[in-house]
Structure 1
Amino acid sequence: MDAAGSCAAGETRKQLCYDFAAWDYVVFGMLLLISTCIGVFFAIKSRKKAESSDDYLLGGRQMSAFPLSLSLTASFMSAITVMGTPAEFYIYGTMYWYYAVTYLLMAIIVSEIYIPVLYRLGITSIYEYLEIRFSRSVRMLATTIFILNTVIYIGICIYAPALALNEVTGLGVWWSAAVTAVVCTFYTTLGGLKAVVWTDVFQCLVMWIGFVAVLIKGSTELGGFRNIWTIAEKGGRIKFDSFQFDPTIRHTFWSITIGGTFIWTGTYGTTQSMVQRYLSCKSEKHARWAVFLNVIGLYIILILVGFSGLTMNAYYVGCDPYTEGWVGASDQLMPYFVLELLHDYPGLPGVYVCAALSGTLSTVSTGINAMATVTVEDYIKPVKPLSPSKSVILSKIFVVVYGVICLLMAVLASQISGGVLQAALSLSGLVAGATVGIFTLGMMLPWCNAIGAFVGVICGLASTTWVYVGSTIYPPSNDKLNRLYLCTDMCNATADASCGFSGGNDIFTTTTSTTEQTTTQTPPIAALYSLSYCYYPVLGFCVTVVTGLITSFLTGYQRPSEVNPLTIRPVFDHPVFCWLPSKTRRFLWCGVRHEDVNTDDEKIRYLHRDDSVAYDDSKKKGSYTYNGESSTAGKKRDGEKRATDSNIPVDVIRVNGSSADRVNYAFRPDETSTSL
């Protein structure tokens, strides 16, 4: 390579043939600078008024749907998407596009089951729901699982792109990892959730721009998208016909749609990282809209990464750098391709690097903000009440602490073998099944008690972890992976450059080496370990629900009439089931007293014993006093309210007789009594 950093004769398509130019570093620096400035802006803005924990952790509960939808898109379709998914299409083909079905199913489930229950409770931590429904021990267990899972997940998201960019561009792996962690921690600490959301919006746009730049240049270089598609078809990569019911095949229509729905429902419906955004919305309607608008963003990303992978396949159709060993892992393919494709355009390779690091920034900032929230809300506040100012200070301290922990976890993530995409999805699948299971036990099955929920989630996690560990000892055979042929015939100018095109498509079928064909003695249980990673959450969900219910009935099931009706979602009251007779729908309540709660789209706030409440049953109106300030009972207020009025006879009160502005107030389970 000459001094200018361009390739000399004979050096083309070799590792580190092209280096980052000065303009690439400028673009990279601008990304970090703008992200930091957003955090500083919201920090300065918050100084103009006293900042409460709701302002810092939930954006004052006044966020709107559009920025939140982009934030949701950026948070989990991030570094993993930018680095891993194009390589998925390059190596395995287009079956991954069936995840589009799962995104829509996830949005319907989350918006119709999870958001109505969680938003109307007015909670800050999603795991507070588990204490309301079950017990404090279940809440602590779920919070601990979330923190451990998120720390490991973020460690992968910090290390994987840093390593890939280091191998291809020469950026120092630990330098880029440290910069990512420090910048995320800085703007998250200063600006809270508002800074996280608006930097996510900016970073999501950067990711889109990065992929569009690659596609425009790639399609121009390769004769248009029709030619790219034709090459992919000849290479056997246009695959939508895998409908086998075999659960050991890596990707089929059924494994992706069923398993993927559980994975993404667990991510979007039962993790603090996502639910915290719904709770920050100004209304339940905005929260629901945010989820569905997010699906549009996910579709855009899915299309962009898919065609990026197919473009990369067309570019390297006769000379695969992965097989040749010019890149060390599949996750390095996309940055390697971008640097080779765009090296003549100063700054454009930097745009893609910014797209990759934008994914990392959004994931890290979301994760550390969520972990700080649950640490304060679930671990500290129940033990020691805090003033709003102390809550904010403590939250900022934990943001810094978790930023450091995640950077250290990136060191351990360096020991993970295999692709980052499957590693991250496998990790999500291990936890998603159990968490979806425990919230299903809470929201849909009123007979489940606290012991059943606790035992169920432990068994669910144990089952998926057992299978995952077994799969590393007895990995599935190559014919289950459906890995496609990668040609290298054109890497040597003297070799036949046809790469099989003249002879039809047979050469592109899935191949298996002779060494892999050799049969080895494996125990019968190894068949279970061959389970597709997509089915991990399905296994975890089934084990959690079944063991949870069995344990509940063995230890004395929960009587549905005694369950707080605010914690149960009456699914059959949905307008879709309006054709059912009212008696049938009431029967399907399974004994839960939903008649005590108006389940229309309304605000529900918890009453705490700190507040005085006056209620006139004859007039169906009332008022409360909160921190010395009087207000009509139907007026929307943020935060949590407590009641001390001994004249209130029930644990759920309806105030302000007009159903249009009715607000439901409920006592916490540990404070509920027939006479307060």
Structure 2
Amino acid sequence: MSEEGFSIVDWVIFAVLILFSGVVGIYYACTGGKQKTTDEFLMADRKMPILPVAASILVSFQTAVLILGQPAEMYTKGTQFFLSLLGQLGAVFLATTLFVPLFYPLKLTSFFEYLEHRFDSKAARVTATTIGIISTILYSGIASFAPTTALSAVTGFPEWLSFTLIGAICAFYTFLGGLKAVIWVDAFQGLIMLAGLLTILIKATLLVGGWGEVWRINQEWGRINFWNFDPDPTIRHSFWSLVIGSMINWTGPYGASQQSTQRFGSLPTLRDAKIALMLQCVGLIVIVTSACMTGVAVFAYYAMKGCDPLTNGDIMSSNQIIPTFVMEVLNYPGVPGLFMASLYSGSLSTISSNLSTLVAITFEDLVKPFVKNKSDSVHLWITRMLVLFFSAAGVGMAFTMRNITGTVLQASISILGSSGGALNGFVVLGAFFPTCNRIGAITGPIVSYAIMLWIGIGQYSVLGIPEDFPFPTDSCQAGNGSMTGGTNITTLAVTTNLISTTGVTTMAAVPVQELTGLRRLYSLSYLWYSTMGTVIAVIVALLITYVTGPRKATEVDRKYLISLSDKLSCLIPSRCRRGADTDQPQVKSEMGKENNAFSNLDERSTQDSQNKSNKVELYKIKS
């Protein structure tokens, strides 16, 4: 793509939409409390309205990775990934039912405060904070990389300048406006993201001839492939990994993470917090469905055209498919600018949320104990300096992500899953195992994080099972790749032989080495990372607890625990509950009668004692 594809109108629209974020930061720096206290800067004074908080929770986790990664996944691998939406919705339900009622009443600024109180251990809090900081910075690098690679592909805009621009804008409005600015900008950026996706989806569908034709073409090319019930955990995507694995992977981020607790903690009541988390499900369904169906529609367009740009060598990565479509088909004045603004909006929303998260946990968990005697104005300036520091760290991490392979979607979920298992382990141990001691609570998650990082790195050394998906090439001209014509090797697959018939490029069947031992472990699906990490953390922690001596359950304050019996009571049939409710007043009545009887006896006994005492005193006086 050439720089000429981006017109002056595109640059103006792109700049206006992005600079709006900075204006919001200035507004909240000059209004209300003017961000003069750390409580306002980090928690928005806990007075935010529901709707923007719901939008902020949504876009904190649905980023430019979604706009590029999910359509690319659907384009290259078919419709199966769409089932992950069911897992995410299940995660929101679990988070709302279990974790919001646990964490909201605690009024936490840093989520990891819970661990110190629950385990009576500063070390547990610092350990979890460290893991959280590392994973958040890594994820920020992915979120920065996604839009910059697209902007570079369609305009030639330098990647280094793009990284720096994202970091500077996020730092600017977070530095000035605090959490209020982050939440309101998130809400605005969510609308821009949705507008960009719907524009592409509608245009591609119309070009193909309607949604029915889009679906027919994808069926013809074997892309409609929802159901794979094979329980093998080394299969990249199956029904079980997409639904169960995704649910476990997302329960932590939605209900037991700094990003979510900081947002629903900014609301005035627990009821508002629950409503906000459930309300974002509406946006989740709309935006994930739009992203996934965009990939399906764009594939139908290129199949109808007869040339896949990735196979033909026109682009170097599947992450560039959607930007290529925009510049090829939607190259009207302003539309590419809107699309790039939607990508940057997704990235900015995630990185600003990460900045707010990193600042809150670093200040509360690591810095504040050393400056607790300082004034609140000193605390405020320290938090603002942390914004600048972590913004620079995020830019630096983005440079290291430039050589990433595969879709940004898989990379981002792998990073979240590796740390998510350890962090989920902390929460599960704290909430459900009152006898777990501090030694086990620290050791288990550390072992889990080390093992999952090892597996994630080792996965790159394993030749997985190739997925045999055809790509249209019969109408291709010579591309930019080293090979020409319609038989170019796609960059998505491992090295194989090619079979090309009637212009359709497919992957030839190749013998795959049987996966045994460590190679099988390395081939674990990235969607199971969080689940396996959680299991490892819990098992190791409980073993260590048993060896070193379990804690007495009575020593733990009940407000730090989740009672499953209370949570599962909603599953009791209403008829049974009504019967229990009907009997309850009778029980209370009988108990009341007994209590009254004992009370009367006590009163008579007390009166008799008093009378005897009076008689004794009267006798003494007479004597």
Whether 1:254 aligns to 2:240 is yes
- CA deviations on 1:56-107 (whole Å, 9 max, x unpaired) are 1111001122111111111110110011110000011111111121122111
What does 1:257-406 align with in structure 2 at a 5 Å threshold? 257-317=243-303, 318-343=306-331, 345-385=332-372, 386-406=374-394
Q: Is the 8 A contact 1:483 1:510 kept in 2?
A: no
Whether 1:200 aligns to 2:186 is yes
In 1, Cα distance between the equivalents of 2:177 and 2:200? 33
Residue in 1 that maps onto 2:443: 455
In 1, Cα distance between the equivalents of 2:217 and 2:155? 28
Pairing partner for 1:242 from 228, 236, 251: 228
* Structure whose CA Rg is larger: 2
Q: Cα offset for 1:237?
A: 1.2
Q: Is the 8 A contact 1:92 1:483 kept in 2?
A: no
What does 1:390-469 align with in structure 2 at a 5 Å threshold? 390-469=378-457
Residue in 1 that maps onto 2:54: 69
Q: Is the 8 A contact 2:234 2:523 kept in 1?
A: yes
Secondary structure in 2 matching 1:468 = helix
Q: Cα offset for 1:17?
A: 8.8
Q: Is the 8 A contact 1:236 1:508 kept in 2?
A: no
Secondary structure in 2 matching 1:490 = coil
What does 1:650-665 align with in structure 2 at a 5 Å threshold? none
Residue in 1 that maps onto 2:518: 525
The structure-2 alpha-carbon separation of the partners of 1:549 and 1:579, relative to structure 1 and needing over 3 Å to count, comes to farther
Residue in 1 that maps onto 2:481: none
Q: Cα offset for 1:38?
A: 0.6
Secondary structure in 1 matching 2:132 = helix
TM-score by length of 2: 0.85
In 2, Cα distance between the equivalents of 1:76 and 1:132? 28
Pairing partner for 1:489 from 460, 469, 474: 474
TM-score by length of 1: 0.79
Q: Is the 8 A contact 2:468 2:508 kept in 1?
A: no
Q: Cα offset for 1:320?
A: 0.5
Residue in 2 that maps onto 1:551: 544
- CA deviations on 1:426-483 (whole Å, 9 max, x unpaired) are 11111111211110000011111110111110111122122212211123221xxx35
Q: Cα offset for 1:169?
A: 2.5
Secondary structure in 2 matching 1:363 = helix
Residue in 2 that maps onto 1:622: none
- CA deviations on 1:472-525 (whole Å, 9 max, x unpaired) are 1123221xxx3522121121499999xxxxxxxx999995436xx245587632
In 2, Cα distance between the equivalents of 1:569 and 1:47? 36
Q: Is the 8 A contact 2:475 2:503 kept in 1?
A: no
Q: Is the 8 A contact 1:485 1:508 kept in 2?
A: no
Q: Cα offset for 1:417?
A: 2.1
In 1, Cα distance between the equivalents of 2:506 and 2:94? 39
Q: Is the 8 A contact 1:463 1:539 kept in 2?
A: no
Q: Is the 8 A contact 1:437 1:542 kept in 2?
A: yes
Residue in 1 that maps onto 2:151: 165
Bigger Cα displacement from structure 2, 193-202 vs 239-248? 239-248
Partner amino acid for 2:175? T
The structure-2 alpha-carbon separation of the partners of 1:296 and 1:508, relative to structure 1 and needing over 3 Å to count, comes to farther
Residue in 2 that maps onto 1:59: 44
The structure-2 alpha-carbon separation of the partners of 1:376 and 1:520, relative to structure 1 and needing over 3 Å to count, comes to same
Q: Is the 8 A contact 1:262 1:432 kept in 2?
A: no
Q: Cα offset for 1:233?
A: 1.3
Bigger Cα displacement from structure 2, 218-227 vs 439-448? 218-227
In 1, Cα distance between the equivalents of 2:195 and 2:256? 31
The structure-2 alpha-carbon separation of the partners of 1:60 and 1:525, relative to structure 1 and needing over 3 Å to count, comes to same
Secondary structure in 2 matching 1:322 = coil
Whether 1:513 aligns to 2:508 is yes
Q: Cα offset for 1:572?
A: 1.4
Q: Is the 8 A contact 2:470 2:507 kept in 1?
A: no
Partner amino acid for 2:562? R
In 1, Cα distance between the equivalents of 2:158 and 2:170? 18
Secondary structure in 1 matching 2:111 = coil
In 2, Cα distance between the equivalents of 1:211 and 1:268? 23
The structure-2 alpha-carbon separation of the partners of 1:226 and 1:243, relative to structure 1 and needing over 3 Å to count, comes to same
In 2, Cα distance between the equivalents of 1:222 and 1:52? 55
Query: Number of residues paired by the alignment?
Result: 554
Q: Is the 8 A contact 2:474 2:502 kept in 1?
A: no
In 2, Cα distance between the equivalents of 1:547 and 1:395? 36
In 2, Cα distance between the equivalents of 1:568 and 1:507? 63
Q: Cα offset for 1:115?
A: 1.0
Pairing partner for 1:223 from 200, 204, 209: 209
In 2, Cα distance between the equivalents of 1:483 and 1:536? 25
What does 1:578-589 align with in structure 2 at a 5 Å threshold? none
Structure with the higher helix share, 1 or 2? 2
- Return the structure number with greater relative CO, CA threshold 8 A, min gap 6: 2
The structure-2 alpha-carbon separation of the partners of 1:98 and 1:249, relative to structure 1 and needing over 3 Å to count, comes to same
What does 1:143-162 align with in structure 2 at a 5 Å threshold? 143-162=129-148
Residue in 1 that maps onto 2:109: 124
Whether 1:565 aligns to 2:558 is yes
The structure-2 alpha-carbon separation of the partners of 1:334 and 1:496, relative to structure 1 and needing over 3 Å to count, comes to closer
Q: Cα offset for 1:537?
A: 1.0
Secondary structure in 2 matching 1:105 = helix
Residue in 2 that maps onto 1:542: 535
Secondary structure in 1 matching 2:229 = coil
Residue in 2 that maps onto 1:623: none
Partner amino acid for 1:165? L
Secondary structure in 1 matching 2:388 = helix
Q: Is the 8 A contact 1:91 1:483 kept in 2?
A: no
Is there any run of 5+ residues in structure 1 with no aligned partner, and where?
Answer: 1-14, 498-505, 586-676
Q: Is the 8 A contact 1:235 1:508 kept in 2?
A: no
